[in-house]
Structure formats: structure tokens, C-alpha cells
A and B are shown apart, each in its own frame.
Chain A
């Protein structure tokens, strides 16, 4: 297992290099000059030229790239053009918000999709199945930005249950320790802060979670449907086990492999998929940062964030591989 993981980790190095080269190259190929975009419209051509020189943009592409990789190997992703701060610090300050949102999105998705998928799969063509299928289609096909705005209009605008945007409220949020608002509030015993964090995360997490729940529900349904036809399920029923026990103990356990795979992949996607949701809900996460970086052609920032996404994706997939062994003891890594 350890050897397998080490081998996988070593294998990611060329992937990371390729990703940085692609991102750096594409950003440079894209029209638009960071200096002219970031300086105001009354800046003179001389100001723009000075800023280009200061940010090293007057050097050839390969020099800039080699410089970036050299620094990145030492843990320095450079300094953002737009924010004039180290990229690692910027990402570090925004990551907790994105992770918090992704966690709640997955939680909501799992809580909705797995029971729905299991019931739908266990009783194909029943009313439950039809409702579940419609829900799944709804979740998959509905655009995030539209659903997010609808939730804001309903729950903030009409019902006044939740705030329309943001992550915390001024005056309620307390001291920042870990950057995770829930955790910080619990550590400091700020229960108003916990409630505030919950109120703010519900709508964006629901927006992300519903899309994920749609996919997850469909996967769960088909996995359950397939496994209920297996002989050992027939044997379990023949033994006289209650239907509920057969379903949750025997069927779901074996259906978990594809579910865990999808959750893992989607967790990686959530980190990037939350870009739109973070923008709609003014959620101060990495996705929001990436949007700003792309529109201002902030090369170090965008490359740094994509690198972070790649590392997150690879790590999550490794973790999922490790979880397979726990979920299904028959799986052994060579």
C-alpha cells in the first residue's frame, strides 16, 4: 500500500509540470496584457511599460516560466500582480472558505442522494424512483448560477431566512485561528458565530450540493439496482432477513465503490466548480480569487491556483484509492 502510494505520488510530478506549462503558456497566449489591465485607464504608456518591467513581463516566455518553476520548487509561487501579495499567502487565506463550502456541499449531497438513490434503486419504476429520477435530472441539468440566484431570491429576498451573500457577518465573526469559520467559532465558544457561519453556508452549499446530489443519486440508484440482482442478495432474503437490513447492510455496502469514486471526483471538481457559486454568493474562496486572477491576467495567481487544484485533485484521488480498501476488503494494492 505504502509503495503504491509513493509510486503514485512520484507519478504526479510530471503531471504538475505539464499543468503549469499549459496554464502559463495559455495565459501568455491569451490576448490581454496584465499591466494595461491592472493600471487605471489614465495611466500613461510609460507607466504600463514600467509595470511590465517590474513584473518581469518584458522577458521572454521561457525565462518567465523557468523562473516560476524554480521558485515554485522552493515553495514560492510568486507575488500576485493584482493583489501585490505572495500567491501562497493569498491561496492560504482563501482555501478554508472553499474547503468549508465543499464540505457542506458534499454533506448535503450525500444526505439527499444516498437515501433517495437506495430507495429508487430498490423499487425501480415506483413513485419513489420516479421522484428520485426527476430530482436527479433537475440537479444535473440546472445551471449553478441560475439556481443560486433563485435560492437567494426565495430564501433571502422573499422568506428572509438566510443572508443573500458573504461568509460571515461583521460584529458576529470572532477571532480567526484556523480560517475555518465553524471551527474557529467552536474553539472560541462563539455560538453566535457558529449559527452565523451556518446561516451563510446554507444557500451556496445547497446550490453546489444539489448539482452533486443529482449525479450521486443516479449513480447510487444504478449501483443498487445492479446489486439487488446478485445471488447473495437473494440468499440474504431467503434467509429471512428484513428487507431494510438487506438493503442497508448488504446492498449499500457493495454499492459504495462507485459512490465513493464519484464523491471523490466531484470533491475535486467542487473546488473548481465552486468558482461560479463563490462569485454569485460573494463567497471569499479560491474560486472567487481565480476569477479575479483570470480577468486581470494575473499569471502567478492563476498558475498558483491551478497548481493547487491539481495537487488537491491528485491527493483526493489517492485518498479515494485508500478508502477503497476500507470499503471493500477484497481490494489489495500491489
Chain B
């Protein structure tokens, strides 16, 4: 190697090192704001790129998320992140307000049910697409048809109960359901995404999803880099007035928990979704970050299939429920980050009744007695299935439950198949006894029906004509109070009959920079307009 080559190598090496380490200093404050898009580097972005804080410049918040939006087609996937983002960027008829547990008008300003199967939605007159063209009922009908007929749609189930839609005038649409569906709004709110008919007609089915999608919401689409990030930016002409959230929000895909936490502490992101309880202290003890805990709408339960022995006997099912010390598992395994369920649902769901009396308190003696009464005085052997890594501390919680059941004579053998196998078996009704969660229980009607109504799903295979009649009555109860009562009657009977033991909801933990004010929603949607930067 000649001297010149050596010198060149040295210079090249030093240049690369300098490039790698430039601006490489720890940031004292994990904040947001700074340079607008495209100027972050020039304005002195730190590695990992959060723009430097600025009191006067535009604000940008980066959120480390676990799900990924891969396509500009809002109907091609069915994930919580996507529903929230597309609802806020493109538009949706209404949203669910977790504080009031009521539906909040968005593109539809009001709605009414004329007959049990007919719903009329009155749309706002003052809404424009981001290109200035008017939003009308034709867009709603077009969106309905895309959900139903787009070959890539994964959202058909949301509109499965709706038989047809018709445009009554420019600002009124009518939906006809297949049967009375009092919970219809729970299938539409945040879930039925409205897209522009004119844009679709202009580009056609092959090209439409390669275009930046046009919306009506408080934020506008800016950039999608598949499997890396999605960027949205504030809509200055939003029909709802001034948008209070940050100027730009970047959703960065980071599936690894450790990476999200490091990025948060490093100031690369300002909000980190889903932290496990064991990392709480690390985030809380850092000077500029905090953990925010929120209720979940995901109910965790033990399912017992009544068509299989020994769960064909109600007393055995109840014995299982009495054998579990749920409070100790919440404290010990979930590190206090959970709420005990006394009935099927928790406080984050519609129709939650705080006066619901705890039915199954921890009572091993009663569990043993029930087991003996059921004809198993010497105990019984069962196989108990649990997912691993699907839910927070799932295997550990299942191990704790196994020990508690064994103590009363329910000799459970823990089986831990990988998720696709377990889920396929559960869906096909091949798993008699399993630990599972059911998410998105915003309105409990559909979830209860799915698991406990005769013939709806083989997941538990429970059948009870009395309960079926109650479901039918509840679906036709359009008066809010009557429906809430009907739902609570259903849930009382389910709890008593115990085809499942309802265990807990697991609090969702979010890491945040201290200068961010944001209350995460129990339904996992992230609405940028809810975020405030101090």
C-alpha cells in the first residue's frame, strides 16, 4: 500500500467517523418542535433525528408504534393504529368518546333510527376535502361500496350487518340493517373510513392507492415510507376550526420494546406505545420522561367449552373461577397494572355498571366443595392453553393460575402453542380451556354475542336459549337505558353460568416526554389532535 493510498484511507475513515458522530451529543430535554420537514438536518437535528426544540417554530411529535401501516389504501388492513390515523386524516362519521362513553359526531352531525332496521345519517354541510372539493353523501356511499367490494378490503366485517345504503340527498344517507342492530354505531365509529369518490373516479382502482389520499380531517397525509414511518400534518382549513395538536406527527414503526424505550430516553421519539410493566421504573426515573397508564378495553378471560368434560358441568366452571386469586396475580405478575373484572367488562366499556357485585371472590374451600359436588372429589386433570408473548405477562399469569387451580384439585397441565396454532384451534372450537383476551370491547354487545350466543362462533361453543333471547331483545332495544339494562342482564347471566371466568383488564403503559400532555385512549386509537406539546 503506497503512502498516498494510506493517506486516502485515513482521510476517508476520519470523514466517515466525523459524519457518524456529528451533532452526537445527548439532548438534555426530550422535547418536540423545531425545524419543518426537510430542514431538520440543517437546523441541527440530533442523531435519530428529533428536531431541536424551538419555542416559536412548528411542533413535531414522533410516536414509536408497534403496528405498521403499509399502504395508502385505508381499507386494506384492519388494525387499531390504521383506523385512528385514517379516521383523523380521511374522515369518519363519528368517534367514540371514552370519557363520556358516548358517540361524538364528526362527518355525520346527527343520526336517528326510524324503524328497527333503518338508520338515517345527516351529514355536515360545511366539509371540504383537502383539495377544496365538497364532501357529500356520494362519498359515504362510495366508501361503503369500497369496504364491501374492494378485493383487498379487510373491513367487510364492520359492515356485515348493513344490507344496503342509499343516498337520500347530498347530505343524507340511509342505512338498512339485516336485523335490528342497536349497537350499529360501534361498528361505524372510528371504523367506517370515508374516502373521496371524485379522487377514486379520477384515478381508478389500479392507481388510487398510489396517490396521496385526500381527506377531510384535522390532519393531512404527508408521507408514508412502508415499514418505517407515516407522517401527517395539520390541516389549516379544518371544518372543526383550529386544530390544537402538534403541527406534524410522525408515527415511527418500532416493534421492539427495548428499542422504543431507548429511543424515548434518547429523545428520538416523544411517545412510546405499549411498555411492559418491568420497564416502568426505567422510564419514570429518567429526568425527562414519564409513564402514563390507561385503562384497556381488552378483557382477559379463561374460556371453558361446555361441550367438553369436565367443563360440561357448571359447578366445575364455577370452581375454576373461585380457585383464582385475581388480585394477587394483578399485584404480583402484572405489577399492579391491571383491574379486576367482576363481570365481563371493565370501566372503559360502554354500559359498564360499577355496582356489579363481585360474583367469584377467591375462595379455595368453596372451589374444592364445588368440585366434589360436581363428582370430582379427587380432583380432575385438564389441559390449559395459553398464548406466549401475545398479552402482557401472559405465560407468567397462566403459570400463576395453574398453581392456584392445582391447589384446589384442578390439575392443569399448561400448554403453550405458538399464536397462529392456538388461534386457529380456538377459532375452530378445538381448544377446551384457554386464557385469552378480547379487544375493542367498546360496546360489549357484539363481543358477548360472538363468544356466548348460540351458533355465532365455535370459540367456546356455549348455548343457552334464555341468553339467546336476551341477545335478541338487547339488539332491538334502541332506548339507551333499556339497552344498558339488557346488556347488564346478559352479562349477569353469563357470569353466573361461567362459560368463561372474567379475570382482569391490563392497563396500557405509554412512555412520554415530560413536555407532552396526552391521555391515551382505551381503544388504542391515537388521535394526533389530542396531543399537546408544552
Residues of A within 8 A of B (CB): 30-33, 36-48, 50-51, 54, 82-85, 93-94, 149, 152-153, 156-157, 159-173, 192-196, 198-199, 202, 279-282, 284, 288-289, 292, 295, 297
Q: Given contacts A32-B423, A84-B76, A160-B24, are A198 and B16 in contact (CB under 8 A)?
A: yes
A170 to B251, CA, bound (A): 10
Q: Write out the residue numbers on chain A whose beta carbons fall within 8 Å of the beta carbon of B415.
A: none
A294 to B244, CA, bound (A): 41
B139 at the interface (CB under 8 A from A): no
Q: Write out the residue numbers on chain B whose beta carbons fall within 8 Å of the beta carbon of A295.
A: 419-420
- Nearest-CB distance from B462 to chain A (Å)? 15
Q: Which of B258-266, B301-309, B364-372 contacts A (4 or more CB under 8 A)?
A: B258-266
User: Which of B21, B46, B49, B73 is most buried by chain A, counting CB atoms within 10 A of its CB?
Assistant: B49
> Are A164 and B266 in contact, CB atoms less than 8 angstroms apart?
yes
Q: Write out the residue numbers on chain B whose beta carbons fall within 8 Å of the beta carbon of A30.
A: 420-421
- Nearest-CB distance from B279 to chain A (Å)? 12
Q: Write out the residue numbers on chain A whose beta carbons fall within 8 Å of the beta carbon of B427.
A: 33, 36, 45, 48
Q: Write out the residue numbers on chain A whose beta carbons fall within 8 Å of the beta carbon of B24.
A: 159-162
8 A Cβ contacts from B43-75 to A: 45-49, 51, 62, 68, 70-71, 73
Q: Write out the residue numbers on chain B whose beta carbons fall within 8 Å of the beta carbon of A83.
A: 70-71, 76
8 A Cβ contacts from B245-281 to A: 250, 252-256, 258-259, 262-263, 265-266, 268
> Are B49 and A171 in contact, CB atoms less than 8 angstroms apart?
yes
> Are A84 and B262 in contact, CB atoms less than 8 angstroms apart?
no
Instruction: Select from chain B the residue with minimum beta-carbon distance to A171.
Output: B40
User: Which of A159, A170, A173 is most buried by chain B, counting CB atoms within 10 A of its CB?
Assistant: A170
For A164, give its contact among B39, B70, B78, B263 (CB under 8 Å): B263
Q: Write out the residue numbers on chain B whose beta carbons fall within 8 Å of the beta carbon of A166.
A: 48, 228-229, 252, 254
The contact sample of 9 A-B pairs, CB cut-off 8 A, is A36-B423, A44-B160, A44-B457, A45-B458, A84-B73, A84-B154, A195-B20, A198-B20, A288-B227
> Are A170 and B424 in contact, CB atoms less than 8 angstroms apart?
no
Q: Write out the residue numbers on chain A whose beta carbons fall within 8 Å of the beta carbon of B413.
A: none
Q: Write out the residue numbers on chain B whose beta carbons fall within 8 Å of the beta carbon of A171.
A: 35-41, 45, 49, 51
B383 at the interface (CB under 8 A from A): no
A159 to B24, CA, bound (A): 8
Using C-beta atoms within 8 Å of the partner chain, give the interface range for chain B.
35 or more
Given contacts A32-B418, A33-B427, 10 further A-B pairs with CB under 8 A are A31-B420, A40-B157, A82-B70, A149-B258, A149-B259, A160-B27, A170-B62, A196-B49, A284-B225, A288-B227
- Nearest-CB distance from A173 to chain B (Å)? 8
> Are A37 and B420 in contact, CB atoms less than 8 angstroms apart?
yes
For B255, give its contact among A84, A194, A279 (CB under 8 Å): A279
- Nearest-CB distance from A316 to chain B (Å)? 25
Q: Write out the residue numbers on chain B whose beta carbons fall within 8 Å of the beta carbon of A167.
A: 228
> Are B22 and A195 in contact, CB atoms less than 8 angstroms apart?
yes
- Nearest-CB distance from B84 to chain A (Å)? 14
B438 at the interface (CB under 8 A from A): yes
A41 to B38, CA, bound (A): 40
Q: Write out the residue numbers on chain A whose beta carbons fall within 8 Å of the beta carbon of B73.
A: 84
- Which 8 interchain pairs have the tightest Cβ spacing? A32-B420, A163-B48, A169-B49, A84-B152, A171-B40, A192-B41, A284-B227, A31-B421
